[in-house]
């Protein structure tokens, strides 16, 4: 299961997460783990687009969290990949920089969780792609663990 921040304009229009350019890059990330988009569940921490694309506010995260927790209970994913700083901070209740959270095995409501960069950030900073492939190798190894 991949968890992003909040729907963007394209996602709001279509009612589906990660359908814009960031979504295409997310598809490549999913493929790099050896999976297809139909084989993973994609969600967001926040369920509506924040006005003007501003960062979600803590009380909005709090309001949407029971929905996400219910999604996780129903999907029972083997692994959650938190996409970007906002998702990582909201889920792990920490302010640690992403660089400190990457590479570690965390957990969210008893589900293993790893952290990587948001695909929208990768579109702006393609030089960071190598780090994401490392994170995806970690994802693969968590999934392959007995």
Binding site for ligand URA (CB under 6 A): 4-8, 11, 17-18, 22, 44, 120
- Is 62 or 146 the residue whose CB approaches ligand URA more closely? 62
Residue 141 CB, nearest approach to ligand URA (Å): 25
- Is 44 or 116 the residue whose CB approaches ligand URA more closely? 44
Residue 145 CB, nearest approach to ligand URA (Å): 27
Three-state DSSP at 46 gives: coil
42-44 sheet: strands from edge to edge: 42-44, 2-4, 80-83, 111-116, 106-108
User: Could you tell me which of 46, 60, 34, 53 has the C-alpha nearest to residue 4?
Assistant: 46
CA pair distance 115, 80, nearest whole angstrom: 8
- Is 44 or 139 the residue whose CB approaches ligand URA more closely? 44
């Amino acid at each position: 299961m991949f968890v992003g921040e909040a729907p963007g304009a394209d996602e709001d229009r279509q009612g589906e997460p990660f359908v814009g350019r960031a979504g295409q890059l997310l598809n490549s990330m999913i493929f790099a783990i050896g999976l297809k988009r139909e084989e993973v569940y994609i969600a967001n921490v926040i369920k509506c687009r924040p006005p003007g694309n501003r960062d979600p506010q803590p009380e909005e995260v709090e309001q949407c969290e029971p929905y996400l927790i219910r999604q996780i209970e129903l999907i029972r994913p083997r692994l959650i990949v938190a996409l970007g700083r906002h998702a990582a901070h909201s889920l792990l209740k920490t302010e640690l920089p992403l660089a400190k959270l990457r590479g570690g095995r965390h957990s969210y409501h008893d589900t293993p969780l790893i952290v990587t960069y948001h695909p929208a950030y990768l579109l702006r900073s393609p030089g960071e792609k190598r780090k994401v492939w490392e994170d995806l190798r970690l994802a693969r190894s968590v999934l392959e663990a007995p």
